[in-house]
Structures are given as structure tokens and as C-alpha cells.
Chains A and B, each alone.
Chain A
Amino acid sequence: MTASGRIVRLAEQQRAEVHFFLDAEMRGALAGDTVLTAMLASGHALRNSEFGSEARAGFCLMGACQDCWVWQEEGPRLRACTTLIAEGMRLRTQPPENWP
């Protein structure tokens, strides 16, 4: 669960721990993390490009580039850089199977 991800925490590590699910697997994050921070704390990407073979991990972090939209198990996609992680959130790196 403390698997090394893309990001390195340099400050503000005294926050409460929260848990979320990524592809049905439980992951840990800190309260106040964005979804982007939470996912990249233990992983290296947020999604795969629909137009190429490469993985994507966000780009601008200010809601302008739209590179960081991720799927939820239920409900609409969310923009990972502007959404805070919440306890029990269920996210996925791939579109749901029933997505056309």
C-alpha cells in the first residue's frame, strides 16, 4: 500500500489518512489530496490516452488541459486535479465495460 508512485511527498504529511478504491483495490491517501495526488502517490498514471499507446498522468494541474479526467465506478468522470479525494471513492483507470 505504500508502493512508490510518481509523486514524492515533501511537506504536510501530518494529515489524516483516507482510503479509496482504484480498480477495486484499496489505496491510501491523505485528507486534502486531490484525486490526482492520491492516485499518483501509489501509481504512475491516471489513464491511457484514447489516441495513442502512452499513459497519461495530468499536465497543467489547473483545470485547463483536461488531461486528467478519470473514470469512477459509478457516475460521471471527474477531473482529478480539481477534485479532492474522499473516503470510499471508487475510481478506475479504464472505462467501464458497458461504455460504448
Chain B
Amino acid sequence: MVQGNADGSDYKERLIASVKKEVKQLMEEAVTKKYVHEESSSVTSLCGAVEACLSQGLRRRALGLFKTSSTTALLHKIAKSCPEAEHISKLVQEIEASDPSKRSSSSSDSFQRPPMLKKSSSNSMSTGTNAAASTSSASASISVSASTSSMSLASMKYLWIRLALYEKRLTKIIEYLVSNASSFYDRDSLVADPDYGSILSSLLVGPCALEFTRAKTADHYWTDPHADELVQRHRISSCRRSSSTCSRPAIINFKRSLNTSSDEAGTGSFKSIASASVAKDYVESLHQNAKATLLYGKNNVLVLPKDVAEPMPGYLSLHQHIQTLTIKWTPNQLMNGYTEAEEAEDIDKDAFWAYALNINVDEIVYVHCHQSRGEDSGGTVILVGQDGVQRPPIHFPEGGHMQQFLSCLETGLLPHGQLDPPLWSQRGIGKMFLWPRSMRRRILPSVMESVDETPIDYVFRIVSKSRHEEFAATHSILDFVRSTPRRAQLSSCSTTGSSDCSNKSLSIDQFPLESPLLLQQQQQQQQLLQAQSTSIEMVCSTMRRQIISRAFYGWLAYCRHLSTVRTHLSGLVHGRITPEMKADEEGLTKERWQLLNVNGVLDNATEFYRLVYFGGVQPELRQEVWPYLLGHYAFGSTTEDRKKQDETCKHYYETTMSEWLAVDAIVQQREKEKTARAVAKLSSGSNSGNERTVRAADLEAGGELENEVFEDISDISDPGDLEFDEQQQQQQQAECAVSGNHLTVKPIPRAMKTSTDSGHVDEGESFNELDEPDEEDNKPKQQQDEKNPESENQVPEYRKLEEQINQEPSCSASTASSYETVGPGDVHQRPTSDTRSVLSPEYLSADDLQLPDDEEAVRPPPPAAAAVIITKASVDITNWERSPKAAEGDQMSPLEEQAGESGGAGVNMDALQQPKSACASPASSNGGVYSSELLEQFGLNLHRIEKDVQRCDRNYWYFANENLDKLRNVISTYVWEHLDVGYMQGMCDLVAPLLVIFDDESLSYSCFCKLMERMIENFPSGGAMDMHFANMRSLIQILDSEMYDLMDSNGDYTHFYFCYRWFLLDFKRELVYDDVFATWEVIWAAKHIASGHFVLFLALALLETYRDIILSNSMDFTDVIKFFNEMAERHNAQSVLQLARSLVLQLQMIIENK
């Protein structure tokens, strides 16, 4: 029994020791980190220790619970008689009710997903104090954004203890338990113990006095806020400025410096920067941020500003910057950001901004504290500055907040300053400055003494250590140099620099600008220096001179650099400034278009461009106007001219399209065959498990078309598998041949239909005409086919082999000759195709090797190609109506029948030929002669185009249907014509808007070609992108030095990669379709009116639109990329355009004034 007792007290000792340890840990964290995060691990471990104490010796029977040692049940039990417990119990139940899966009755289980807890606790905390709305909303949004993460696994642990701690009611509850221990605890339990029980409750007094934060901490720095939240925060901060986003400080700086004298401009712009940044900082102060540490924050602190009758509640915060300590107070009205009726209150808000306090602690000498005698009745702090002026009194609500504020202030002053007399370090203070009894223990129980005297007013002096040191004078110079805001220097530099930087005399004028400051400083120093020795004086003056000269030369170099950059940038804009539009003008409206476009002839190009540049084009006119903008139609052309031009274009387009369609057919066929093989291989692999031999067969059959992956296995062993393949393919052939027979002619109407949408060619007639020569053409081929009925692979390149492999099996010879019939006389008509068909010896030899005798057997059936084309076509009903006729004709032709029997050779011919003849053009039948290199290259391109077209703007109404095929046609035609360039990702995005506007393939194609003349340089093959980046750099340097500093300080030149997509696609992905149209036409017009590099200014405008957000969050490369990717399609295009135009104008003015 004695032993048991000893063990018991030993255990209790350990329990209480662990609580002590955790409390100490937590308090230390509170002091060193200046805040304690709710999810800090020390909170959890403290709760754990408390839980252990409370569950020791708990009389479960009394609670009606036998198995669990739930302290939560205990809480609910005592809720009836203890008001604090009742409150917490309610909260716990709320949380559990909102998420039934989280049963906190098993309180020691660990739970995930904290959002419920976080949300409700934040609500409950703010209900009591009626927190400033933005504080709670900001923290709520943070907790929401963070909730997806798993960072607070443990926060459901010890739920009720945790809540009680946050709510500062834990002590009371434990006190209650201790005083009623007999009904809940065994006699020898810790809580029932007369000593330990009270120790436990008193230990927890300290933690209960702490304010816990849910704010973002350094540890969670990477849980970046979403772009939305950044914009929202920015709105809150920028509600001060009623003007639009265009009023960038740096730009104002410029404008003013151009018109006013440099002195005024300098100071003026600096002020505007400063006030803007102050506004920003206020919102920043809600969060721990990179620039300043938040030492203290308290809402509903009353301050009585000047000219106001009643004290106003507001948010008081204490911030530590690198050099300084700042006290800020913001009226609640300003903390709400954009609330209801924001516009109406605009004026009021300005007034509130005047009330806001922003006090630099360096300027404060005395802190007066007033406290009334009542227990815990809050207090008033009055700050008195060096000049003896009192700042508005700050009334703290009750609850020891004044004391907390003072202690935070003292911590913040360290290590360079302190409160005199110190708050805590001396015991005697307790006598002079009285804290309410509860507070004494809460803050630092071990240090404070309990002395019961009536509280009185007290005065602290803020002492800066450096002031008392011997070499104060030197120090003050250092301080001066250090504390002179760099921005002030910069802005004064840039103003003079911008107004006239080549003027050297002005640069000397500039010099005295700084001297009044210096003089003032010197006067101050005079007094200090009197006691100093002369040697120090000399040292000081030398240093001063050095510093000033260094600053001057630095400034000079900076100006020179700027002038170089400016010269460089002058190439970006036109020298001549086009007068801006009058306010009543509305761009290119219908009426104006009719005025300009007299009798269908548009002559006044300048006026036309000017209207578009400043006002855009009315949507209905775009189809008519865009060809002019893109340079497709010439100015002064008559309606007839244009009609003719259109026809020529259409003809050309159709011709080209028929060419690549032929190749497409072959490519599709090859594709099919490859797929079939791969599938066969996989299935046979799974069937027989003899994968290797099949692969070997593939290797042989596929030749270089197959990939190298197969090369590792090279032994050919089992011919049986080859046969298997063969069988399969023959089967497929048969199937395809049947279907192919009926489908062969369909490509004709389809090609016509897609390409002649608006042309109204008599399709039926042309169809009949076309069919006949086709048949004639096929006759010689037919003869060949009869000779070689087994020949299926009429791949055109075989023709080239003819000369070399005449002695080869007859199939190649025959196929080759059959191809010659296609267009013997026309091969030389098109130089491009001619060069393509030039034989390359190496190539031939390679092909030669790839032609084993059994290859035909492995080749898949050609008709597939024709079928595939049809599925792709934008077939309409008329097409289908016609097709039976066509099929009929086919079947009547013995030649076609024969082709069907021979495995679709003729069908393949059709696929090659008919699109050409469909165009009824002499130039079209330039021969189906393609090198396999060409085939492969184009095939690869087609494949890519297909993939990207499928993915392009599927959600936009226009592309919801077969219009995607038009897109594919336009791009394929372009790529066919520019095979050296090939398809590059992004082309789809450039064609799509054109197609939406024109809804005509050939016109879109022609305009796209015009567009690509400029855009092609942006793609990886061109060098324009790097040039854009370099220009962006220079532009930012000139127009927004603050932004430039940020980018430069991050030291990552790749920064501008976030502009990559902007430039590549002319902002197509950044904006919604309607805005893309509006933006593009301005870009095109700008080339003739203001700048050939308007995209740069657009990019800059986008950047400037969000400059405050970027700057205030000091975003780095990745942040910026993420931000803009998230903001895609959510920009306000019109304001960005407007800003871009004004940026162009600014640069023009700068260059003109030079």
C-alpha cells in the first residue's frame, strides 16, 4: 500500500512535470517566435500532457463510461454546472455535428482534415470580439486554402482541450474540476490531490493567456495563395485609390517628370509611392510576410483620432522590419475591403485613411500607460514623439491586452533598444507598475510578484542603445546612410534621368537636391558633435564625402545606362505620335466603315488603322475588315479585284489541299497497317506467349518505320507467326475491300464541299466531269493490276526504285508503272514537288533493302485510307446523297471491280487521284510521287496536327462540331506548304480565331499565312522570342524600375518565360475569345499606327495591371508563372489594351523628348 502510494505520487509527479515542461516549451515558443500557431506541435503535446493528467484516476463509473477514459465525456458531464465547460462542450458538439465522422469522444485518436475545427473555432473566437471582418475573412480563406493539405494531422487530437485553450477557458474548467474532484476522481488521483490539482490549474494560466494564430507562418510559406486570393487581397489594399489601375506610380513619375520641374516631380511621385505602399502594407499586416514580422495584432482597439468625437475601433498591429519597428492602427471600416456600397463610401474611406496610424517607434520617446483601478479593465497607451507631440491615445480592451502589447513592444525593441525601466527583468517594477492579479501570473508567473497596490499611470522611455554610445555621431551618419530610403534616391534619380539625362549640367543641379537633407542632418549632428574630438569630425566628413561621391557616380552611371537602353528601345515604337481618338469616337463602327469603304474601295489606310487601333472593330464587321488588317486585301482594291483574289486563293487552297490529302491517304494507310501489326503482335503475344518472334517479324516487315525499341531482339525463328500475321491482314483486306468499294468516290464531294463552302461551284456537274478522266486514267493501271492481282502496296515511292530494281519481283515494277500513269506530263509543273521527288541515292538504297519479297503479304489493305478520309470529312447530307451514285458508277466500271478484288489497289489509286481531279485543275495532277522521307515527315506532322486539333478549344461553341475538321484542313495545308517548318504546337490556337471569324477555310488559310509571317519567328525555330524577352527587360527597366528591381533581385533572367505563351500565341490563351478578337485587331493595326511590337506593350500592360500584387508579394519566377496561368482568361482586356496604348505613348514621349 505504501509502495503503491509512493508509485502513485511518483507517477503524479511525472505527469505534472511533463505538463510543466510543455508549458515552458509553449511559452518559450510564444516569446521567441512572437506568436504560436494553433497547429504548433507544442500545443498538441501540451494538450496531450493535460489529457494524461485529467484521465488519471478518473472515475469512469461516475460518467457511465466503462471502456473509454474519455475526458470529453467528462467535459460534457460538467457542462451542466460549469459555464466554461458548457461553452466548450457546445463548440465540440458543433464540430462533431458538422462532421459526424470525427468523433472526438475517442479523444486520443488522431484525425485528419482539420477544416471544420479551424473554421468553427475561428468563428467562435471572432464572435466575442466582433473582429474586423477582413481579419477573420482573410484567416478563414487561409484556412480554407490550407485545408486541402495534410499539415495539421493532429489538430483533431485532444479536441476539447485544444478548444478550451484557444478560448482561454481551460484554467477555469480545470479549477472547477479540482474543486469538484470528489465527484469525478478517485481519491488518490492527481486532480483530487490538494497540491497537484492546484498546480495543474495554475500552470495552465500562462498558456491560456496566449493568443493563438492561424495565420500563415514561415513553415507554411509554400502553401501559396491562389491568384484569386491575391487579387482579392490586393483589392482590399487598393480600395484607397479610387483611380483605375493605370495610375502606376512609376509611370506617374514619368509623366510628371516630363512636364514639371524635376524637384517637385521627384518628391510628388515619391509620396504617391509611399502612400500606395502604406495602403498595401496595411493589408500585408494581416499576415506574416516576407518584409516584416508581425509581432502583435489586436482587433477592436479604440483610438480617438483628431477631429473625431468618439473613439473608433480598429486593428492595432506591431511590425518588425529589418531596421525599424512600426505601430499601425487601421480603422475597422478600412479592414473590410470591398464591402457593400463601396463606391458610395469612397469619400468616407479616404477620410478613414487619414485616421489610420502609422507610427515609427524610432520617433517615439515616451510611452504613457494609463490604467484604471478596476481589475482587468483594459488600459490606454499614449505615445509621445521626439518632437513632444502626443499621438492619439490607444485604448485597449480589457483582458490584459495593453500589457501584452507592451511586452511585445519590448521584445521588438531588442536588441538595439529597450523600454526604460524594463518591463519584466527587474522585480521592482512590479511595485511601481501594477498589473491586475490574474495578469501577473498569466504573462510570466515566475517573475512577477504579487503586490496589492492600486494601479496608477506609468511612463516608459524608449531607449535606443546606440544613442548612448560613445560614437553616437558616427553612428548617426551610418544610420542616415542606411535609413535613407533607397527608393527615394532611385526616384529622384529616375526623374532627372528621364527628364533629361544627357544634360550634364542638370545632373549637377540635381546634386543640391540632396543637400538640404544633408544640412539638416548636419545641424542635428552639430549638437551631438560638440563633445566629440576633432579627429572624429574629420573621419566623419571624409566618410560623408566618400558616400556622397559614390552615390553621385552611381547615379551618373545609372543615367547613362538608362539613356543607352532608351536608344535601344526607340526602335520599338514609331516616332510619329498618332493623335488619340476623341472621347466620342467608338472605333470602327458600321457607319464609319461605310464612310471609309466608298464603293467597295478602301483608300484611307491611316484613318482605318487609327480607328481600329484606338477603338477596335465592331464584331459584325470583322469578317470583312480583318483581311485588310492582315494585309490579305490591298487598300484601294475594288470589289472585283477582291473577288478575283478570293477565287484564286480558293483555287490554290483546294489544289494544295488535294495534294496533301493524297499523301494523307497513304499516311493513314501506313498508320493503319502499323496499328494492325502492333495489335496483332500484342494479341499474339498474349495468345502464344511467343512475343519475340512476332516482334522479329515486325522488325523485318516494318523496316525503318518501326521504332528502335524492337531492335534488341533480332532473331527470327518462327515463321508460323509470320503466317499468322499474314492471315490476319488478309482478313482485314477482305473486309476493307468490300467497304472500300462503296466508299471510293466519296473523297471527291468531300474535298469539294469543304473547300468550296462559299463558292457555290456546281458540284454535281463537276462531279460528272471529273469522274470520266479518272476512269481513263485508271485504265493503264488496271492492266497492270490484272497482271499483278496480288499487288497491294502501291506506295508511290516505288516508282523511284524502278530504275534500280528492274529485276526485282514484278510487283514493284508494275506498281511503279501504274503510278506513272497518274500524271506523266505534270510531274514537273510544281517545282516543290519536283524537288521532293528527286531521288536521293542513299535513300533509295535504304529503301531497296527494305523490300523483301514477302513484304506485300504484310502490307495492310489500302482502302482503309479512303474510309478514314471520309470519317474525317465534314460530310453533309448532300454528300451522302451523292455517294450511292458514285458507288454505282464505280461498280459499273470493271476496272474498279477488279481493284476491289485485287485487294483495293484501285481504291488506293482513287484516294490518290480523285481529290486532284475534283479540283479540275491542270496543275493538280502533279503525280503521286512522294519520297518516303516526305511521307514520313508529313505523316508525323499530320499525326501531331490531329492530336492538337482534337484538343483545341473543344469547349468553344464554334468547335463543338465538324468545324474542327476545317481547322485541321487549314493547318495541314499550311504545313504541307511549309514542310521545312512543320507543325508546331500553338498553330492551332492561331488558326482557330481566324476560322471563327471567317468561317471559310481558304480565306482563313490565306490570312493565317499572313499572320504567320510575323508569328513564325516566335516559334523555337525563330529568334524573336529571345528578342522579346530582352526588350521586355529593357522596357521594364525604363518604365517600372521598382518591378525591375524585384526581378533583378531574384536574379533569374528566365523570369520572362512566363511571357512565353503570351508572345507565342498573341495572348490567345490569356483571354476569352471575344477579347482575343479585340486584342488581335489592335495588334495588327498598331503595326501601322504606333508600334510593330505592340505585343511587348500588351505584355507590359498585363504585368503592370498586377504590379502591386507582384511587388507586394515579392513574387519570384515560379510565383509569377503560377499567378498568370491561374489568371488566364480572366483579365480585363479593354483596360489592358488601354494601358498598353498609354505605355506606347509614354515611350514615344520619352524618345521624342530626348
- A associates with B: no
Q: Which residues of B contact A (CB under 8 A)?
A: none
